[in-house]
């Protein structure tokens, strides 16, 4: 008789695990400046994070009413990634309380994975530099499976790669793509209130909300208990 896999918590990355806004904003402003456009403020750039590099650049250009072709944006993506790769953890840091929350949940038998729309190589590089990679059974990005959130395939395949099962998995995220991917995959979802989202996370109606990472273990345990009843 085989034992059931440990329960799994799958995290979004930017705005959920790590406050990456300063370094992402710097990369976006590098690209915009090359186009002769003014730099965006951190709060403005922060609101553009969450749907991948291409969409972040598109939002930055739209903010300045600056037209660009598909080829222009592809070129800017290359510039963005080159700059960001060299500065990926200059100012990015885990959100306060994350390490303690992961330690708490790990002692209760939970395992962890990352499901992000960030390119997989960049996600792994960031987590490596922050000494977080060993904590995750799988780190999957928007290019890992050829689909991105909210397509449920990216979450379901992340769960499989981490050795988990959908029925014993909880998603944690900060924005619409995270809530959407969880709903489409029939996975319970916790929303964090400190991330990057144009629509307030409460309006997206996750199953639980946390305002600080210290609240995460209790939310995970309560949501897991409700799923078992």
Q: Hey, which residues are catalytic here?
A: 12
Q: Measured between alpha carbons, how far is 1 from 7 in angstroms, rounded to an integer?
A: 18
CA angle 137, 175, 59 (to 5 degrees): 115
Per the CB < 8 A criterion, the answer to whether 20 and 13 are in contact is: yes
Q: 169 has which bridge partners? A: 8
Nearest residue to 101 (alpha-carbon basis) of 9, 191, 169, 26:
9
φ, ψ dihedrals at 93, nearest 5°:
-145, 150
φ, ψ dihedrals at 98, nearest 5°:
-65, -50
Neighbours of 118 (CB within 10 A): 27
């Amino acid at each position: 008789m085989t034992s059931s896999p440990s329960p799994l918590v799958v995290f979004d990355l930017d705005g959920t695990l790590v406050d990456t806004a300063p370094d992402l904003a710097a990369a976006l402003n590098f690209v915009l400046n090359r186009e002769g456009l003014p730099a965006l403020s951190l709060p403005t750039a922060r609101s553009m994070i969450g749907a991948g590099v291409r969409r972040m650049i598109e939002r930055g250009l739209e903010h300045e009413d600056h037209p660009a072709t598909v080829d222009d944006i592809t070129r800017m993506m290359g510039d963005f990634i080159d700059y960001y790769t060299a500065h990926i953890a200059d100012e990015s840091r885990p959100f306060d309380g994350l390490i303690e929350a992961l330690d708490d949940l790990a002692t209760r038998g939970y395992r962890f994975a990352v499901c992000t729309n960030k390119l997989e190589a960049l996600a792994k590089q960031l987590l490596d530099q922050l000494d977080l990679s060993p904590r995750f059974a799988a780190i999957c990005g928007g290019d890992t499976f050829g689909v991105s959130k909210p397509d449920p395939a990216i979450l379901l395949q992340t769960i499989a790669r981490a050795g988990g099962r959908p029925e014993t998995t909880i998603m944690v995220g900060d924005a619409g793509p995270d809530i959407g991917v969880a709903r489409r995959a029939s996975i319970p979802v916790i929303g964090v209130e400190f991330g990057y989202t144009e629509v307030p996370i409460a309006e997206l109606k996750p199953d639980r909300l946390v305002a600080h990472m210290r609240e995460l273990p209790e939310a995970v345990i309560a949501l897991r208990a409700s799923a078992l009843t």
